[in-house]
Structures are given as C-alpha cells and as structure tokens.
Amino acid sequence: MARRFLPILASQLLIFFFMSSFSTTPVTGEDGGFARRLDRKLLGLKKEKLSHFRFYWHDIVSGSNPSAVLVVPPASNTSTAFGLVTMIDDPLTLGPKLSSKLVGKAQGFYASASQQELGLLMVMNFAFLEGKYNGSSITILGRNAVFSAVREMPVIGGSGLFRFARGYVQASTHSADFKTGDAVVEYNVYVFHY
C-alpha cells in the first residue's frame, strides 16, 4: 500500500516545487505587458556618482520684486507663524551676492510647521540653469529649523542628470535682515546620481 503511494507522492511534491519555484522567480519577461525587468544600460545608467554643489539661496520678501510671496497667512497669532505658506522662486547664485552668477532657481514653497520654534517644511525643486546641468533638477523635502546653525534636509529625487538622485543638503544662514525679512542662505548639496 505504502509502496504504491510513494511514486504518487513524489510526483505531487515535484509539481508542488515546480509551481512554487514559478511564483518566487522574479519577473524577467513580460507580465501581461504591464511590468518587466530592465537592464540599467538600456536607460544609459552607468556608474553612480557622488557630487557636491555649493551655492547661495536668496529669499527676497521685501521690495517691489520679491522672489518669495506669502500665499497663506498664519492660521493663528503665534510667534512661530504656524500655518504660514510662502511660495518661492528664489535665485541660486554662485556667490553670496545676488549679482553673482545665477546657477538656478529654487522653486516651491515653505510652510511654518512648528508651534514650538520657527520650523519650516521646505518643499522645493532646485532647477539648474548652469552648463550641462541646465534643465535638470533636484527635489528637496525636509525640515528647516531656521535658527539652527546647520539644517539638514533630504534630496528625495531629481530629473535629467539627477534621475534616481538621493542625498541631502546642508543649509546655513549667510545673512538675514530682520527688518526686511530678506535672507541669504548657503546651500551645500551632496547627491548620488548617474
């Protein structure tokens, strides 16, 4: 009895392993035309590089031609301006002077997201204009406690030369005019990209 069952059991096991090996095999071919594995060379992705960029971010809220505009006033009367949203198209320059070479624009917004201190949520794209980086961008999303000496924020992605980008930025205030609200901030960007 047992001897007659054994071959049946063995063949069932074989089928079982055959089926389960199918389900754990990664998708190599097509999956109903919806998803497929791709050789990274087909996208022109060679060796991953680490780059460092340094420039100055100009937040101009005063005067007749501001680069930063308040779009949502603070929700309540708090010292941290909690709820404020400011839209920016801030120049990024090589040196700390606004008249120095323009290398890009910081486009996005910052919002006051802390009730305890001045802590901003930064959501911005650095749209580069300089040399081979012209037309490429990186995206920053992070927390900016503006009175800290160095604020670190993640680079969460990018476009063009910065496809698959990841990294971080360090921001430190170069100068701030408390009368006008204008500020110049040094940005150091460390980013992995192809």
Dihedral (Cα; 98, 101, 103, 106), 10-degree rounding: 10
61 binding ligand NAG? (CB under 6 A): no
From 37, 43, 135, 150, residue interacting with ligand NAG (rule: CB under 6 A): 135
C-alpha Rg value of the chain to the nearest Å = 26
73 binding ligand NAG? (CB under 6 A): no
Question: Tokens at residue 9, please?
Answer: 């059991």
77 binding ligand NAG? (CB under 6 A): yes
Residues of span 95-114 touching ligand NAG by CB under 6 A: none
Q: Give the nearer residue to ligand NAG in terms of CB position, either 154 or 160.
A: 160
Supply the minimum distance, in Å, between the C-beta of residue 68 and ligand NAG: 22
The stretch among 54-62, 104-112, 130-138, 183-191 that binds ligand NAG (CB under 6 A) is 130-138
From 45, 61, 129, 176, residue interacting with ligand NAG (rule: CB under 6 A): 129
132 binding ligand NAG? (CB under 6 A): no
Q: Give the nearer residue to ligand NAG in terms of CB position, either 113 or 129.
A: 129
The stretch among 25-33, 61-69, 127-135, 165-173 that binds ligand NAG (CB under 6 A) is 127-135
The stretch among 80-88, 89-97, 129-137, 144-152 that binds ligand NAG (CB under 6 A) is 129-137
**Contact positions toward ligand NAG, by CB under 6 A?**
77, 129-130, 134-135
